Structure 1
């Protein structure tokens, strides 16, 4: 169960970074997030002392119209530390329906790992829908799988609401599912803040809070 509590609370899927929409050529997106979690039955009495705190960093840069390069640092599907570099490439890059493939390479818990992925997104009049499927393949350690389903809603004054169903199947652990919701607020022209919470639904007995900064460059 400890591995499930330590599992990544989300990939930070947004309309600016990650997902089926690639970065424009010569433009980038970066985010850093702090996440806290507690066991659900002890959230109220233990709120001053989180059972787990960890920080994540995510970076994307548009190398061309059909290629985005990036770095993903933080925690893997299984809960171990990760450092992955990746390339995302457009498979279908026009119209409201977008499809992108991804190939990442790096280390998870100190072991070399390959991370292929597929993202499918649909642009809506006031938001977007996105599905991200990732597999983390580690040498002699097996493969972990993760699927995030995201609904984003654009509100006035550049405010966004994000609702995400996060699910996964770590090697050696039971599958899990959790719900995460957040609000994204503008701070300056290219700087935004995200504030959110998560709740384990099955295979995950944790509750969490997170806060992050987003930057476009």
Structure 2
């Protein structure tokens, strides 16, 4: 299935279908969320391995803070859709907040990708249920004088006993240069102490870079 058809199908599924993570759910005024994540990757073809050292790795830092009941300020540090270093600050606001119906939020981000200025608009859809949530988060990176890149994450979140959460995610993107990618990325979120949680997961590329990976992260609310 080609990437544009996959992206269209994913948005449709979420509209027919939250929430632990950001996206369509704004942060409450004066409250915040932060996560630090490391992702290590290796080729799926074990025959190409020359050592156990990962062939790819990147780190991300993500922070949100509720400026008001309707405005959420955020900072996104890490790697862009095309794999370049990014620093983006963004502001998100709700377009439709219906509980338990569909939630819609828009955002606009400004920052740098690989040293070049970038504008990053986004749209998030979410639907919460007693058992968990479904969400779609789409972003477009518009660098000044460069080619656009796009990303769409589809998430199914399940509430588990003992305040744990199972996240089943499809991550897809269309880099500015290079083939599009689609990968599966399940993870388990477990309470560590007080307001801190751990995320342990993996990833498996279906198209694009043909890698597999391990994800480790820490979440906190403040």
| TM-score in same-fold range (> 0.5) | yes
**Is 2:138 the partner of 1:133?**
yes
Partner of 2:52: 48
1:26 to 25, 30, 40: 30
Looking at structure 1, the residues matched to 67 and 47 of structure 2 have their Cα atoms a distance apart, in angstroms, of: 44
8 Å contact from structure 1 (residues 68, 88) kept in 2? yes
8 Å contact from structure 1 (residues 151, 163) kept in 2? yes
8 Å contact from structure 1 (residues 66, 93) kept in 2? no
1:74 to 60, 78, 84: 78
Structure number with the higher helix fraction is: 2
Partner of 2:42: 38
Distance 1:173 1:44, change over 3 A: closer
Q: 5+ residue gaps in structure 1?
A: 1-13
Distance 1:157 1:137, change over 3 A: same
Q: CA deviation at 1:45?
A: 4.7
Looking at structure 2, the residues matched to 98 and 165 of structure 1 have their Cα atoms a distance apart, in angstroms, of: 20
Distance 1:32 1:174, change over 3 A: same
Structure number with the higher strand fraction is: 1
Partner of 1:157: helix, strand, or coil? helix
Q: Deviations over 1:86-120 (max 9, x none)?
A: 00101112312211001000000110000000000
Q: Deviations over 1:44-102 (max 9, x none)?
A: 95573001122110000011111100100000000000000000101112312211001
Q: 5+ residue gaps in structure 2?
A: 1-17
Looking at structure 1, the residues matched to 47 and 88 of structure 2 have their Cα atoms a distance apart, in angstroms, of: 32
Give the stretch that moved more between structures: 15-24 or 129-138. Answer: 15-24
- How big is the alpha-carbon RMSD for the aligned residues of Structure 1 and Structure 2? 1.5
8 Å contact from structure 1 (residues 23, 62) kept in 2? yes
Give the stretch that moved more between structures: 94-103 or 159-168. Answer: 94-103
Distance 1:19 1:205, change over 3 A: same
Aligned pair count reads: 204
Q: TM-score, normalised to structure 2's length?
A: 0.88
Q: Deviations over 1:3-27 (max 9, x none)?
A: xxxxxxxxxxx83432111111110
Q: TM-score, normalised to structure 1's length?
A: 0.90
